[in-house]
């Protein structure tokens, strides 16, 4: 008998493409998981104006074993990102970097200050990662 062991940690979350579109800060989950398939997390429905009452940013994590990950954040939101990627390309707001602070755009009071409205961690085994504004 031949036994094969793997050190790869495949995230739970099932098989198939997943799309999440929370419409409030309270609706943003702390973790999103998918084993196999593309992931879309569309945060445009979360209004940064509603975040003034929060003591800390909205924090979420995406774990994906195999498949592309796309995240869309509100245009005006400041975002702190950290990406851990096995194989694939990373595009964070047009830059091929894996982490950083990205100030929001526009004239909103919260845009461009040093306090992120979102902190997002992304763990991708195999697939491209893209974060953009919408």
Domain locations along the chain: 18-133
**Within a 10 A sphere around the Cβ of 110, how many other Cβ atoms?**
18
Per this entry, what is the length of the chain? 134
The predicted pLDDT at position 9 comes to 53
Q: What's the whole-model pTM score?
A: 0.88
The predicted pLDDT at position 56 comes to 85
How is residue 2 annotated by DSSP? -
Q: Which of 63, 50, 70, 61 is nearest to 13 (CA)?
A: 63
Q: Which of 114, 98, 47, 45 is nearest to 76 (CA)?
A: 47
pLDDT tens, position by position, 10-57: 556 789 999 999 999 999 999 999 999 999 999 999 998 887 666 789
| Measured CA angle at 53 (ends 130, 58), to 5 deg | 25
Are 129 and 89 within 8 A, CB to CB? yes
């Amino acid at each position: 008998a031949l036994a094969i062991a793997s050190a790869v940690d495949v995230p739970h979350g099932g098989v198939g493409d997943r799309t999440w579109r929370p419409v409030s800060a309270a609706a943003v989950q702390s973790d999103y998981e998918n084993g196999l398939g593309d992931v879309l997390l569309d945060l445009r429905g979360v209004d940064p104006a509603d975040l003034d009452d929060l003591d800390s940013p909205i924090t979420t994590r995406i774990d994906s074993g195999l498949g592309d990950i796309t995240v869309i954040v509100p245009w005006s939101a400041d975002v702190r990102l950290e990406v851990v990627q096995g194989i694939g390309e990373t595009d964070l707001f047009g830059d091929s970097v894996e982490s950083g602070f990205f100030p929001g755009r526009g004239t909103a009071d919260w845009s461009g200050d040093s306090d992120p409205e979102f902190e997002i961690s992304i763990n991708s085994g195999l697939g491209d990662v893209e974060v953009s504004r919408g």
